[in-house]
Amino acid sequence: MAFALNTYPITYRAKFSAGKWDGEFLEKPHKTPEEEAAMSDDDRAKLEISRNCYEDMPLVNYTSQYGLACFEGLKALPQKKGGLAIFRPDKNAERFARSMEGLRMPPFPKELFLTACLETVKRNAAFGFYPPYKSDWEKDSFMTADSIYIRPFTISESGIGVNLSKEPYVMVINTPVSAYFSGGSSDAVVTDKIRATPNGTGWIKASSNYVISALAKSDALKAGYMECVFLDAVHRKYIEEGSSCNIFFYLKSGELVTPELNDTILPGITRASIIELARDRGVKVSERKIPIEEALEETKECFVSGTAAGATPITSLTYQEKKAVFNDGKVGDLTSDIRDTIKGIQYGILPDTKGWMTQVV
């Protein structure tokens, strides 16, 4: 995973108090990107730590004590013709507000979300903190391309004792990111862990949801797999998600299937975009339950989707020592077409006929 805790110097912080949101842009210590790159490892580490510390924030709160928080993830991507653009930030704004409402927090307004995301990217870019576009990225369909990761998240006010957050903070930070999945294996394994249960928070982008995901992904990596796949909590037979991504199965019948949305599955923005692109191509797309046995026996292509994952191929899936290999272990035509189209739109080598990209600089 190529996330880096190297927060760019401009961040955003808002606080809900007395019935309204008040926000500000903060400037953390920094030098030019070139000067920072030339620093010793120790000095650069100290600088990065200083940018990640806020002494006027509460240490003891409902987030640090009980995991009461939610977050978003979106990218600002270098454009072939220059500048940076963000993929569908309006949808992230809407999901962030729904997540906060789901956790009984006052929702963060869409217009403030968009301003915070666009302005942090723009102000950091003015200091030189952004990745330049590289034509070499086109050779591997942008699977190793760089971008800016925008992370909005909540932190509760001071508090102890299990409770809800009435006056949360919202933070927005930028950090560099490259490929989410490392090269090599593209195999996945079904985990016996349970990500979410009915009537829970699986549909919310809640921080606590990712504890189980991290444990299951760690187990998968140790066993030599790239990814893990979760089954439902009740029947233990229907596929739900990957470790932190939605999942698609292109069946031998020509049907593209992804698990239907319910309160255990996160409504992915890349997921919705892929469904739209596939239907544009005349592919039958179904959002329904898919039993693990059907996936193993009837799938000809499989891929996972998400902000970080994009559309990443899965070439095999193992369940209880039964391994199904898809498309002879090669990336399938539909998978590569969807992947290349999403990335092409995001990085500006294909026309944005959907109006999905918001230009920043």
CATH number of the domain bearing residue 323: 3.20.10.10
Shared-domain flag, residues 213 and 306: yes
Q: What's the burial of 158, exposed, middle or buried (CB within 10 Å: 0-12/13-18/19+)?
A: exposed
Q: Are 307 and 238 in contact (CB under 8 A)?
A: no
Domain that residue 336 falls in: 187-346
For residue 179, the model assigns a pLDDT of 73
Flag whether pLDDT at 110 surpasses 50.
yes
User: Residue 87 corresponds to which tokens in the numbers above?
Assistant: 């993929």
- Look at residue 2 and tell me if it is in a domain: no
pLDDT at 331 over 60: yes
The answer to whether 150 touches 105, Cβ cutoff 8 Å, is: no
Q: Examine the domain organization and report whether 87 and 232 are in the same domain.
A: no
> Based on the domain organization, do 86 and 169 belong to the same domain?
yes
| Predicted pLDDT at 98 | 98
Digit-coded pLDDT (tens) for 290-328: 999 999 999 999 999 999 888 999 999 999 989 999 999
Two structure tokens written together for 43 = 């000095």
Q: How far is CA 230 from CA 45, 67, 98, 336, 347, in A?
A: 36, 22, 24, 24, 31
Alpha helices in the chain (DSSP H): 33-37, 41-51, 62-66, 89-102, 110-126, 209-222, 269-280, 292-298, 333-346
Q: Is residue 231 part of a domain?
A: yes
User: Are both 274 and 128 inside the same structural domain?
Assistant: no
274 and 173 in a common domain: no
Could you tell me if residue 182 is inside a domain? no
Q: 214-228, pLDDT tens digit by residue?
A: 999 999 999 999 999
Domain boundary among 116, 145, 177: 177
pLDDT in tens, 49-104: 999 999 999 999 999 999 999 999 999 999 999 999 999 999 999 999 999 999 99
pLDDT of residue 323: 97
242 with 283, same domain: the answer is yes
How many domains does the chain fold into?
A: 2
Q: What is the rounded distance in angstroms from the CA atom of residue 183 to the CA atom of residue 2?
A: 11
Q: Compute the distance between CA of residue 304 and CA of residue 310 in angstroms, rounded to an integer.
A: 8
Instruction: Decide if 359 is inside a domain.
Output: no
CATH number at residue 92: 3.30.470.10
- The C-alpha angle 278, 279, 284, rounded to 5 degrees, equals 95
User: Which residue reads 């006052």 in tokens?
Assistant: 106
Q: Does 93 lie in the same domain as 242?
A: no
Average pLDDT across the chain, whole number? 96
CB atoms within 10 A of CB 355: 7
Q: Are residues 201 and 293 in the same domain?
A: yes
**Residue 5 lies inside a defined structural domain of this protein:** no
- Residue 1, pLDDT > 50, answer no
Q: Report pLDDT for 292.
A: 98
Strands (E), 195-309: 227-231, 239-242, 246-251, 255-258, 284-287, 299-306
Residues 125-184 have pLDDT tens digits of 999 999 999 999 999 999 889 999 999 999 999 999 999 999 999 999 999 998 766 556
Please report, rounded to a whole number, the percentage of residues in the chain having pLDDT higher than 70.
98
Give the separation between CA 204 and CA 96, rounded to whole angstroms: 9
Domain contains 289: yes
